[in-house]
Structure 1
């Protein structure tokens, strides 16, 4: 009986990257519950056996995918603030972040049955890992932007968290106004009030 081909470490990294890309696309298009391992494997041109040698369960791929997205978003915010060390640069990073959230609703619509089905299958430690520590991200962004706060750090970060939380009201607000125009205006006003 011929032995199965063994994937090199480089092959494993490439397959994992492809599966994460497909997972993100499918999660956006159809949600967690409707995304099957079989479909992901078919699209990635890998066997189901190969999938399970890389990921013990479907949730492990989804967890890795959401962590990858969060890491990418954090790096984008930090890069903008490193390159544009101004209040305008900081405001731009918040505007970019909310637009990225908008393209990936599963990042903020965490109370949907679909997201809850995903969370229900995760151990507590994994759940803690995906709860983005926005205060830590804001702290890093302020340092990268080399800005000085006018107020207590916790209050400033609370204001920025509340600002980003308005994305969950986008559908309601969009009935009467251009949500992104309102968000951009609020961002500019709040950033000018928060920083010296």
Structure 2
């Protein structure tokens, strides 16, 4: 009986990267529940056994994927704020964040049955690990932009969080207008009003 091929660390890293990309694509297109391990493995060109040598469960892959997306998004926003330390730069980072939320609904709409079915299968320590501290992120973004707030940080955070929550009204807005244009205009006005 031939022995199983042993994956090198480089092979494991490449396969994990590919599975993460596929997981993100499938999560956006089909949701958590409709994304199967078999489909991910078929598209990655690996066996289901190989999957289980890398991830004990489907949820482990999804948790790693959401952490990677959050990290990538945080780095993108902070990079915009560092490179353009102006109110316009901060507004641009909000616009990028909004567009990312638009393309990945599971990042903001965590109350859907699909997302809840994912979360209910996670141990508490994993839930805490993937929980995004948006107020801390806001403070980092302000610091990266090197801007001074005119109002209390908690109030500024609340205003910008409310602005981002307009993503929930995109279907209603899209009937009569370009919801990106509406968001962009509101972002410009609000950012200008909360920073000196």
> TM-score normalised by the shorter chain: which range applies?
over 0.9
After superposing the two structures, state which structure 1 stretch, 177-186 or 11-20, moved more.
177-186
TM-score (norm 1): 0.97
Q: 5 Å matches for 1:36-51?
A: 36-51=36-51
Tell me the equivalent position of 2:33.
33
Task: Show structure 1 runs of 5+ residues with no match.
Answer: none
Tell me the equivalent position of 1:187.
187
Q: 5 Å matches for 1:31-110?
A: 31-110=31-110
Deviation readout 1:1-24 (Å, 9 max, x if unpaired): 221111111111110000000000
* Alpha-carbon distance in 1 for matches of 2:144, 2:107: 24
* Alpha-carbon distance in 2 for matches of 1:142, 1:108: 21
SS of the equivalent of 1:174 reads helix
TM-score (norm 2): 0.97
Q: How many residues align?
A: 196
Deviation readout 1:113-149 (Å, 9 max, x if unpaired): 1111111101122222222111111111111111111
Tell me the equivalent position of 1:118.
118
Deviation at 1:108, TM superposition (A): 1.6
Deviation readout 1:146-179 (Å, 9 max, x if unpaired): 1111111111111111111111111122222221
Q: Alpha carbon RMSD of aligned pairs, Å?
A: 1.0
After superposing the two structures, state which structure 1 stretch, 107-116 or 76-85, moved more.
107-116
Could you list the runs of 4 or more consecutive aligned residues of structure 1 that deviate by over 6 angstroms after TM superposition?
none
Tell me the equivalent position of 2:154.
154
Task: Show structure 2 runs of 5+ residues with no match.
Answer: none
